[in-house]
Structure 1
Amino acid sequence: MAPTHSSYDVVIIGGAMIGSAVAWWLARDPGFDGRILVVERDPSFEFASTSHTNSCIRMQFGTQVNIEISRFGLHFIRSFRDYAGADAPGIHLDDFGYLYLARDEAEADRLRTAQALQARLGAGTKLLSPGQLRTAFPFMRFDDVVLGSHGPGEEGCFDGGTMFSEFRRRARKMGVEEVRAEATGFEETGGRITHVTLDDGARVACGQVVNAAGPNAARVAAMAGINLPVEPRKRYTFIFEAEDRLPRRLPLTVDPCGIHYRTDGALYMAGCPPETDGPCAPDDFEMDHALWEDRVWPALAARIPAFERVRLRNSWVGHYAYNTLDQNALLGLHPGCENLLFANGFSGHGLQQAPAVGRGIAEHIIHGGWRSLDLSPLSVARLTEGRALTEAAVI
C-alpha cells in the first residue's frame, strides 16, 4: 500500500520498538502537529530484534547516561497508564533483579566503581561478598567469585510486547501512518534529505528523517553517504526446565564465563553470543545447537548443581544491532546531514531504552535539542569527533 500523502513532516525508517516509540512520543506531544510516516518492510516483525528480545531492564550500567535512561525506563513501566491513558493496560515487571559476578580484582573494581555511580543516581544496587552471596543464593557455587553486584527490586523482565503494541496502536489512533515498504534511497539538496525513495518507486518528500532500522541501520545511513558502525550480531536464547526447582527466583546472573541465565516464569532462560562473535548476514538466523550441549549447559551445572538435570524446551536466535565503536546507542543528528536523526546501535539495550530514547528523539525533532533528559553523551556526532563512550556492562 502506498503512502496516503506525497509529503510528511517526519519519516521514520523502521517500525519496531524504537521507531514506534519515536512515533508515539511525537504524536502525543502538543507541540507537534505534523504528519508522520513509519516505513516498515515487514510489519509482521518476524525477524525483528524486538520480536527476539528477552525484554529486560536493569540499572547496572557503568555510564551515567545509561543509568539515567534506565531510571526513566523503570518509572515509565510503572507509570505507563499516566503516559498512555487510563484505558491503557499496565506493563508487568517481574523484578527478579540482576546479579553480576566478578572472578578477579580487576572485575571487582569495575563493579565497585559502577555500584557507587548507580547508588549516587538512585539505584538500589548492593555489593555482596562471597559469604553474602552464599547466604543469599545457597543453591549456587561461588568458589571462583570474589564479589557480586545485586540489584533487587528494580531490575528484571517487563512486558515489552504490550508496550510495543500500545505504542503502535495509540500512534495510529493519533494519525500516524504506517506503510509496508523498504526505503531504498535518499534524494538530497545542500546537505539535506528532500525525499525518501521506496522500493515500489514512490518518492516521499520529508521534513526530517529518523533512522530506526535496527541491525539494518548501516544500510540506511549509507544512503546518505554516512558510515555507521552498526552490524547484526547473533545472540542465542535457550528456555529450559529444571527437574529440581530452585527455592527462589533466579536473578539474571551475568556469569564471568560469558553466559547469562535467569528465571523465566516456571522455567529458566539462558543466553550467550556465538563462540566467535562477529557480524552476520541480516537474514542469518541459523541456530547453533551444539552451543547448548558444549557450552551453556556445562556452565549452568557448574554454577548451579540443580541444573545438572534440565530439559531444553525451546531456543531461538536474535540479532543485536551492535555498535562496534563502544556498544552504546548512537543518537541524534549527524554532522553529515542536517535533517537525518539516528536512533541506532543499542547493542542489546534497545527495548529498555526505548521509552527515554523515543521521548528524546521526539523532543529533538520538535525543539531542536534534548529536553527532559540530556542524551548528548550518546550523540552520533562522536563518530566524527573520535570520541568513544565505553560501556563495560554489555551482556
Structure 2
Amino acid sequence: MFRKEFYSVCKKFVLNRRIHTSVVSCDNVENFEHPLKRTVRVLAQDFQRIVRKANKFTSDGIFPTHADIVIIGGAAIGSSIAYFLKHKTGLTGLRVVVIEKDNTYSQCSTVLSLGGLRQQFSLAENIQMSLFGAEFLRTLKHRFGPDADVHFTPNGYLMLATEHGAQQLLDNAKLQKHLGAINTVLNKDDLKQRFPWLNVDDVEVGCFGLEKEGWFDPWALLTILKRGAINLGAEYIQGEAVGFSFKTQQDIYMDGALTGSYEGLDAVQIKLPDGETKSIKFAYCVIAAGAESGKIAKLAKVGCGPEMLTVPLPVERRKRYVYCFDCQGEPPGLNTPLTVDYTGAYFRREGLGGSFLAGLSPPPEEEPDVLNLDVDHQYFDDKLWPLLAHRVPAFNSIKVRSAWGGYYDFNAFDENGIIGPHPYYYNLYFATGFSGHGIQQSPAVGRAIAEHIVDGRFQTLDLTRLGFDRLLLDKPMYEVCIV
C-alpha cells in the first residue's frame, strides 16, 4: 500500500515537471537526471537526514553506538579528515563520528601553533602537502562561503644558512621550485639589500618564499574545517578514548603472521564528561589525536602486541614555548617574513605594531617536562634572546609581553607525519606525528586519508613513504637543514 502511494506521488511529481520542462538542453544531456529517479533520491536523502538527526548524540539524544568511520581527535587534522570524507563521498548515509576530548581545545597543538605555511622543506611529500595547503586556503571562500577567512599574511618565509649548510639549502630550493614553489635564493649582499635590519656577517645564503608562504589564524582554520564537516553530516562527540574491543576473525589471513587467527579492532570505548563509558562499533578508525596518539595506539596493542604489533607508534608530547615581545627600537618593517635562523631560532611579526612572536626548540638533552604547559621565562633570556639580538640588532632592546606553551605531536622516529593504514589492522589508520607541521599540512592529510579509505589507495599525492611501514623497515624520512 505504501509503495503504491509512494509511486503515485512520484508520478504526480513527474507530470508536474513535464508541464514546466518539456525540452532538455543538448548541453545538459549528460547531466540530465530522470525526474522519477531524482524524486526517489531526494526523498531517500531526506529520510536519512531525519534518521541521522534522531540518532545524533546530544545531552538529550541517543549515543551513536555504530559508525562507519570513527576519528579520534577533532582538531585540524581530525576535522580535515571528517570534512574530506564527507565531501568526497557525498554520501549522507556514511556515518562519520569524531571523538574530541576537549571541546575548548585549550591544550590543542592546532590553536597553540604559529600558523605558519611554507614550502621550504627537503622532502617532496612535505612540499607537495604544503602546496595543497596554500591552494586550500586560497579557495576557502569557494568551499565554505564568503565568511571563511583565516587572515592569511603572505609575507613568506626566510630560511638562513651558513657556508656549511649553503649547498643543502640550494638543493632544497631547487626541489621546491621543481614541484611548483615560488622562491628566490639570496646571497649575503642580496640579503643585506633586501632586509637592511638583518645581520648577515655569519650567513652565507638565504631562501625567501615569494608566494604561497606566510602565516594565518589556526583557530579560524580549525573552526572552518569543523563547521564544514558538521554541515556535511559529520558528528562530534566530546569524550576520551580509553580502550578498544577486539574480535577474532577466522576468515582473515595475515601474511607473515605466526599466530593462527587474526584479531581485529571492532569498537572503541569512550569515556564521557560525566564519567560514563560507552562503546562505538566501527568499520574504520583513524587516530588523529596529536600528542596523545601514541598513548591511544597502545590501547589498540600497537607496541605491546605480538609480531607486527611489537612496533609502537613513536608519537609523544614535546613542549615548546612561544614568546611575544615588543621591539623598543626601530623594528623590522611591515613586510618582515617569518625568519628562521640556522640556529633554529625563529620570529615573525604579530600585527602592525612593533610586536613579534619568537621561539626555539631545545636540544634533546634539555627537553622540558610535559606535565603542564608552564612557560620557562628564563629560557628566553638565556637561550633565545641572544640569538635574536645577534641576528637583528634592533632586538637588543625588547620587552617580553606574554608567552605560552604548547605540545608538539613529536614523532621520535624521524619527526615527520605518519599517514595511512597500519600494516596489521586493515581498519586502523594514523594521521599524526607531524612535529610542528600539522596545521599547514592538515588539508592535504585530510584529503589523503579520505582517498585511502574510500578508494583503497592514495590518489592525488602519493604519501606511501610516510606510512607506518617505514617504522617496520627502519627507513626514516628525515628533513635536512629544516627546523
TM-score category (smaller protein): over 0.9
1:238 aligns with 2:323: yes
Partner in structure 1 of residue 343 of structure 2: 257
The structure in which a higher percent of residues are strand is: 1
1:119 aligns with 2:177: yes
Instruction: Please show how residues 313-352 of structure 1 align to structure 2 within 5 Å.
Output: 313-352=401-440
1:194 to 266, 273, 284: 266
CA distance in 2, matches of 1:207, 1:281: 37
**Could you say what the CA RMSD is over the residues aligned between the two structures, in angstroms?**
1.7
1:16 to 63, 75, 92: 75
* Residues 247 and 13 of structure 1: CA distance in aligned 2, closer, same or farther (over 3 Å): closer
- The residue identity in structure 1 corresponding to 2:357 is M
* Residues 286 and 3 of structure 1: CA distance in aligned 2, closer, same or farther (over 3 Å): farther
CA distance in 2, matches of 1:262, 1:183: 37
CA distance in 1, matches of 2:395, 2:214: 21
Structure whose CA Rg is larger: 2
For 2:111, what is the secondary structure of its paired residue? Answer: helix
1:54 aligns with 2:114: yes
1:294 to 375, 382, 391: 382
CA distance in 2, matches of 1:98, 1:163: 20
Aligned length: 393
* Residues 277 and 255 of structure 1: CA distance in aligned 2, closer, same or farther (over 3 Å): farther
For 1:202, what is the secondary structure of its paired residue? Answer: strand
Q: Displacement of 1:5 after TM fit?
A: 2.0
Q: Displacement of 1:278 after TM fit?
A: 6.5
CA distance in 2, matches of 1:360, 1:88: 26
For 2:104, what is the secondary structure of its paired residue? Answer: coil
Q: Displacement of 1:268 after TM fit?
A: 0.9
Q: Displacement of 1:368 after TM fit?
A: 1.3
* Residues 87 and 304 of structure 1: CA distance in aligned 2, closer, same or farther (over 3 Å): closer
* Residues 87 and 130 of structure 1: CA distance in aligned 2, closer, same or farther (over 3 Å): closer
Identical amino acids, percent of aligned pairs: 36
Unaligned runs of 5+ in 2: 1-58, 248-261, 303-311
Unaligned runs of 5+ in 1: none
- The residue identity in structure 1 corresponding to 2:335 is R
Cα deviation per residue 1:2-58 (whole Å; 9 max; x = unaligned)?
Answer: 863210001111111111111111122235431111111111110111121100100
Larger deviation, residues 121-130 vs 273-282 = 273-282
CA distance in 2, matches of 1:46, 1:377: 33
CA contact (8 A) 1:183 1:198 kept: yes
TM (norm. structure 2) is 0.78
1:135 aligns with 2:193: yes
CA contact (8 A) 2:156 2:209 kept: yes
CA distance in 2, matches of 1:36, 1:148: 45
CA contact (8 A) 1:19 1:38 kept: yes
Larger deviation, residues 375-384 vs 278-287 = 278-287
CA contact (8 A) 1:81 1:88 kept: yes
CA distance in 2, matches of 1:393, 1:42: 35
For 1:93, what is the secondary structure of its paired residue? Answer: coil
CA distance in 2, matches of 1:76, 1:34: 24
Partner in structure 2 of residue 159 of structure 1: 217
Q: Displacement of 1:283 after TM fit?
A: 4.0
TM (norm. structure 1) is 0.95
Q: Displacement of 1:248 after TM fit?
A: 4.1
Q: Displacement of 1:159 after TM fit?
A: 2.5
* Larger RCO (CA within 8 A; separation ≥ 6): 1
